[in-house]
Amino acid sequence: MQHVQDPQGSYTLVLCGACELLFLSPLPTPQVFEAMYVGSKQFEGCDEYSGSRAETALEYYQHCVKNMLRKQRLDSSSLRTLEIGAGYAWVSKVVKALHQSNVTVAQDVSSEAVNLCPWVDHYVVGAIKEVSDSLAGQAPYHIISLTHVIEHVPDPLTVLRHCGRWLDRNGLVFITAPHRPPGWDKTKPFAAWQQWALTHVPAHLQYFGKRSLDKAAALSGLKIAFFIASHEEGAFEVWMGRREALRRNAGALSAFYERVRSLLSSRPRALL
């Protein structure tokens, strides 16, 4: 493992040589987590959730949901979706707009956005370990979304294992998150890290790469169906399906993914 420490010495960023996961050590204290996500106001006076930025985000998520439904041949009027770390619940908004009969479930540790999301049918407040029974009761889900969330989760493998159990056999886990700074060099892994716009310490606890996502998926009963890390100046997008379902359908996937990749140069970018 390699590591770099910030000038104040308050955290260490560690690179695992085996799977290329970058992670913060030590983790923030429970008091810091409480202050960041429950005690603070994330939506009051924040222009990221309105105007042109919101329109661009919704356009991006509409594009993603449309492609996932096409790939899995899912009925757009009979969906069950879960957003983890939902906040303003963009994906739920997209899914509910497809058809009012679709069931949307959202989870967050903060109650701040509960009354801001009329497109969410069931907004569950609490940490995953505290509300897992409630979320499991709404399963199975056709889409489980973690959009710019997994980098904040102190135990991402536990969350992915829940996703593997709650996912419909034809469903997908949809994840977006910061990946690597533009121009990242494996031989100098930390050279550009502290200048990167998507570094937020101590809120960002880990930065997955393709190898670490492969390992996490395998340990969760999932398998990567689609991965790209060439948009949003250092963010990735990944779709994971249930391992046994993807194995059965492997022969039919390649043409679809080639078609998706050919569209990426013109797709909208996620800003939130």
pLDDT digits (tens, 9 = 90+) for 15-28: 888 888 999 888 88
Rounded CA gap, 40 and 61, in Å? 26
Read off the pLDDT band of 1 (50, 70, 90). very low
Reading the block at residue 99, the tokens are: 């058809």
Task: Please check whether residue 30 lies inside any domain of the structure.
Answer: no
CB 200 within 8 A of CB 173: no
Q: Domain holding 72: CATH number?
A: 3.40.50.150
Task: Please check whether residue 8 lies inside any domain of the structure.
Answer: no
Residue for token pair 């060439």: 230
Reading the block at residue 225, the tokens are: 């169906």
Q: What does the pLDDT look like over 188-236, one tens digit per residue?
A: 888 888 788 888 888 899 999 999 999 999 999 999 999 998 766 789 9
Domain count, the chain: 1
Domain housing 255: 52-180+208-266
pTM of the complete model: 0.86
Task: Please check whether residue 79 lies inside any domain of the structure.
Answer: yes
Task: Please check whether residue 47 lies inside any domain of the structure.
Answer: no
Task: Please check whether residue 131 lies inside any domain of the structure.
Answer: yes
Q: What does the pLDDT look like over 125-139, one tens digit per residue?
A: 999 999 999 999 999
Q: What does the pLDDT look like over 145-187, one tens digit per residue?
A: 999 999 999 999 999 999 999 999 999 999 999 999 888 888 8
Residue 38 scores a pLDDT above 60: yes
Task: Please check whether residue 161 lies inside any domain of the structure.
Answer: yes
What mean pLDDT is predicted for residues 232-253? 76
Task: Please check whether residue 146 lies inside any domain of the structure.
Answer: yes
Residue 272 scores a pLDDT above 60: no
Read off the pLDDT band of 47 (50, 70, 90). low
Task: Please check whether residue 217 lies inside any domain of the structure.
Answer: yes
